[in-house]
Structure 1
């Protein structure tokens, strides 16, 4: 099945990622979360000098610590200092990349209740500054992965705010996203999937500078 960007461009995976063994690939990744798969993919990118992208640390305020031994410490009470923004950020070919990763067991739609207002606001600010903002959504029971550009996602979010449906159907996601075909090295080559978004963002920046 041909995969196309939301702007109509076809997504052609790199040669190294096109070699697939569906049975063993699925078996070898059983039990892994989307976070596990993204962390492994990011390690691959970093080790080969392709990009530097990491999961953002969550700021925590430690309240109580117990010391069962002189060389060991156990945190017994802590809380989040501030609300987190998105899950991952970094740099790729001079472009700032910022995205949220979500999983759902729903087979027919993605519930928007999984996203928070402050996360949408953060991605909106990144997008306005010319950064590459998007979501990676995994339909875990279908073993399907989608890269959703923020500018497409915000339309469905606004629809909900205006009183519309509180989810995005799978059919809508197929139309507005780039589907990632899992591979080996890396497991999720999402950077190849956002190439079209980077080109479009560059064109938009050039147009703003020339106007």
Structure 2
């Protein structure tokens, strides 16, 4: 099956190399497992759901089917499809009666996070969620360092408005370290962002 992005480019699954650091779960090191941010968050959310901590799911990416073959009456084979542009953020759900909504992004840039990774409609959605009393944020990973941060949407909006006003088109790593919250990588859960949310909601 051929799957294309909205710009017409073909989708090619990324080949990822799982690095062996010589360390295992027993000695407390869980980094460099070759997992993407999405995979790590999906594992984390499943951990939360199974233990009845929170119910948070990844939203499916809309796909437009453009070509279908019918080799027989009882089966249909999708031959070509396009990823539609997602309308909102990656994840949403509920935690302690609070609506949770967040986007997840990663970059190989060691010194800053490009704002082009976000779409205007996603930023608008974050504003709307905040206006309704929901808790909205982004989870950012610097893949080169295996460092993950939670950045509240109010801070992302600040940097987005700076860019729209002619300022820099990225958020520096130093700014993320200042305004964001570092999430140490673990085993179960892998990215324990709920622990950060607890401290922020209590504060």
Q: TM-score range by the shorter chain?
A: 0.7 to 0.9
Q: Which residue of 2 is the match for residue 172 of structure 1? A: 175
| Cα pair distance change 1:127/1:71, threshold 3 Å | same
Moved more, 52-61 or 79-88: 79-88
- Which structure is richer in relative contact order (CA contacts within 8 A, separation 6 or more)? 1
Task: Tell me how large the CA RMSD over aligned residues is.
Answer: 1.9
Q: Which residue of 2 is the match for residue 65 of structure 1? A: 68
Number of equivalences: 178
86, 95, 103: which one aligns with 2:89: 86
Q: Which residue of 2 is the match for residue 16 of structure 1? A: none
Please report how far the alpha carbon of residue 152 of structure 1 lies from its aligned counterpart in structure 2 after TM superposition: 1.2
> Is the CA contact (8 Å cut-off) linking 1:132 and 1:197 kept in structure 2?
no
Please report how far the alpha carbon of residue 140 of structure 1 lies from its aligned counterpart in structure 2 after TM superposition: 0.3
- Which TM-score applies when normalising by structure 2? 0.81
Q: Which residue of 1 is the match for residue 51 of structure 2? A: 48
> Is the CA contact (8 Å cut-off) linking 1:65 and 1:75 kept in structure 2?
yes
> Is the CA contact (8 Å cut-off) linking 2:31 and 2:185 kept in structure 1?
no
Higher helix share: 1
SS in structure 2 of the partner of residue 57 of structure 1? coil
Please report how far the alpha carbon of residue 106 of structure 1 lies from its aligned counterpart in structure 2 after TM superposition: 0.4
Structure 2, gaps ≥5 residues long: 1-25
Summarize the alignment of residues 176-191 of structure 1 with structure 2, pairs less than 5 Å apart. Answer: 176-191=179-194
Please report how far the alpha carbon of residue 161 of structure 1 lies from its aligned counterpart in structure 2 after TM superposition: 0.5
| Deviating 4+ runs (over 3 angstroms) | 67-73, 79-83
Q: Which residue of 2 is the match for residue 10 of structure 1? A: none
2:53 & 2:149 partners in 1: Cα distance? 21
Summarize the alignment of residues 1-211 of structure 1 with structure 2, pairs less than 5 Å apart. Answer: 21-22=28-29, 25-27=30-32, 29=33, 31-68=34-71, 73-80=76-83, 83-199=86-202
SS in structure 2 of the partner of residue 84 of structure 1? coil
| Cα pair distance change 1:161/1:21, threshold 3 Å | same
1:44 & 1:71 partners in 2: Cα distance? 38
- Which TM-score applies when normalising by structure 1? 0.78
> Is the CA contact (8 Å cut-off) linking 2:107 and 2:141 kept in structure 1?
yes
